[in-house]
């Protein structure tokens, strides 16, 4: 390693680094001095601005620092403290920390030593099977990501005043850590373009996929969004919304202090029902949601469907500075179009009302296209230790990229808009 890389250390838990030090790299500019579990109501108030009156203070919005809830110390520590992302579940922390000359963390990477490929959303099961059939050992591997979270964000997290070489040092350090622990590979997923380029320069292989995201170019309200759609799609969404809430169903939206343990109990029942049907065993336990509520309730948005006083379905969203992130959904009663209403239409309406430029609704789902969500390319990067296996993976990825990009172009031509949305 270089002299710079020699300052790298590896942490097995977020508890080994101070919250303020991590967040100075992950979300610089946001207050990290409050203790774990503190009330952060100023976050929600600052995000909303003057949205209640139909406008947002433009100067306030332009000065607001970028904030991604998933890479925050709060969120990652909740996963570990709940026992969801720990060694016994196959997510052993191997977080990289790069100290500056004064011994202060200037860059960090959320990294895990994995013994399986579950909960990642960038699938490499076929790679693992092929490598092991050829006599190799695919696990352990290193995963640079937010566990169970297919959300694009920064992964090479640096302080604004960090040395210009800090990201390259982290990239080299990941390869060195892979060699030292005898891992087969390093996988950095859901990358922003800058991080993807840095890792590519360090010998990581590029991979692409796509998601569907809602773009808000400055709609005044949900009706303004509907007016941008073709007539047929506009009528379909109106009918879906009407039918979803027929029979006396109502929508309840909670954030901040309004989210109590009863709300988490209800949501967890929905989450576990969906998780059991999709994955066999849900990734997150009940304690995680209580910890999330304690640590960052004002960055959580719960949307419930209620019949009378009974909650029958719900969706969990997290609030960032420039996006609303839809994460989990579940229901105990099948109601036509309720999934679309609670997960997509309500999220779009809330984002427009609060001046957020984007809604990310998770992985997959071409059905989102008809509801105003556009296809967006996502990126990952992969470092393969074995030379022969690397060559085979590189060839596969070249062909896969061509197929994904071709599909992306086709889907992008079939958005439901009658014309391009108005400029922001």
CB 214 within 8 A of CB 372: yes
Q: Phi/psi zone of residue 361: left (φ > 0), alpha (ψ -120 to 50 degrees), beta?
A: alpha
Q: Which residues contact 166 (CB under 8 A, 6 or more apart)?
A: 98, 106, 107, 156, 158
What pLDDT shows up at residue 24? 96
Three-state secondary structure call for residue 198: helix
d(CA 172, CA 166): 10
Return the closest-CA partner of residue 398 out of 129, 120, 205: 205
Architecture per CATH, domain 213-374, reads as 3-Layer(aba) Sandwich (3.40)
Q: Give pTM, 2 decimals.
A: 0.91
Each domain of the chain, given as residue ranges in start order, spans 5-210+376-412, 213-374
d(CA 359, CA 373): 8
Three-state secondary structure call for residue 387: helix
Give the other-Cβ count within 10 Å of 301's Cβ.
25
What pLDDT shows up at residue 29? 87
What pLDDT shows up at residue 41? 44
CB 110 within 8 A of CB 145: yes
Return the closest-CA partner of residue 90 out of 165, 143, 155: 143
- Pairing of β 111-114 and β 91-93: antiparallel
Q: Six-digit token pair at 147?
A: 């566990």
Whether 5-210+376-412 and 213-374 share one fold: the answer is: yes
What pLDDT shows up at residue 274? 72
What pLDDT shows up at residue 51? 43
Instruction: Pick out the chain residues at pLDDT < 70.
Output: 1-6, 31-64, 275-280, 419-424
What pLDDT shows up at residue 63? 58
Which CATH number, 3.40.190.10, 3.40.1110.10, 3.40.630.30, 1.10.150.80, labels domain 5-210+376-412? 3.40.630.30
d(CA 98, CA 169): 8
The gap from C-alpha 401 to its chain's centroid, in whole angstroms, comes to 22
């Amino acid at each position: 390693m270089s002299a710079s890389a020699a300052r790298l250390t590896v942490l097995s838990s977020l508890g080994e680094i101070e919250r303020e030090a991590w967040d100075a790299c992950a979300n610089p500019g946001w207050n990290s001095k409050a203790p774990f579990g503190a009330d952060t109501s100023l976050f929600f108030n600052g995000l909303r601005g003057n949205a209640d009156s139909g406008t947002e203070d433009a100067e306030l919005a332009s000065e607001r620092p970028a904030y991604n809830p998933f890479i925050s110390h709060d969120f990652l520590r909740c996963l570990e403290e709940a026992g969801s992302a720990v060694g016994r579940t196959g997510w052993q922390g191997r977080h990289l920390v790069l100290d500056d000359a004064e011994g202060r963390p200037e860059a960090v990477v959320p990294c895990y030593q994995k013994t399986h490929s579950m909960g990642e959303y960038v699938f490499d099961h076929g790679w693992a099977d092929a490598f092991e059939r050829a006599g190799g050992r695919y696990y352990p591997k290193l995963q640079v990501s937010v566990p169970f979270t297919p959300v694009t964000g920064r992964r090479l997290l640096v302080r604004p005043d960090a040395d210009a070489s800090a990201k390259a040092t982290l990239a080299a350090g990941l390869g060195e850590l892979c060699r030292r622990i005898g891992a087969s590979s390093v996988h950095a997923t859901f990358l922003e373009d800058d991080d993807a380029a840095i890792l590519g320069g360090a010998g990581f292989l590029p991979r692409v996929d796509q998601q569907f995201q809602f773009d808000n170019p400055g709609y005044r309200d949900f009706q303004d969004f509907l007016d941008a759609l073709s007539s047929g799609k506009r009528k379909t969404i109106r009918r879906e919304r009407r039918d979803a809430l027929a029979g006396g169903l109502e929508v309840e939206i909670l954030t901040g202090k309004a989210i109590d343990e009863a709300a988490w109990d209800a949501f967890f029942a929905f989450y576990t029902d969906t998780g059991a049907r999709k994955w066999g065993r849900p990734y997150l336990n009940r304690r995680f949601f209580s910890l999330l509520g304690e640590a960052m309730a004002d960055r959580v948005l719960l949307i419930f469907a209620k019949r009378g006083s009974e909650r029958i379905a719900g969706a969990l969203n997290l609030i960032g500075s420039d996006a609303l992130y839809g994460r989990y959904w579940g229901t105990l009663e099948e109601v036509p179009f309720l999934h679309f209403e609670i997960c997509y239409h309500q999220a779009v309406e809330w984002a427009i009302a609060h001046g957020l430029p984007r809604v990310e609704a998770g992985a997959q789902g071409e059905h989102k296209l008809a509801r105003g969500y556009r296809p967006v390319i996502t990126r990952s990067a992969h470092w393969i230790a074995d030379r022969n296996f690397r060559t085979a993976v590189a060839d596969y990825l070249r062909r896969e990229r061509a197929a994904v990009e071709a599909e992306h172009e086709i889907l992008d031509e079939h958005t439901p808009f009658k014309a391009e949305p108005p400029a922001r």
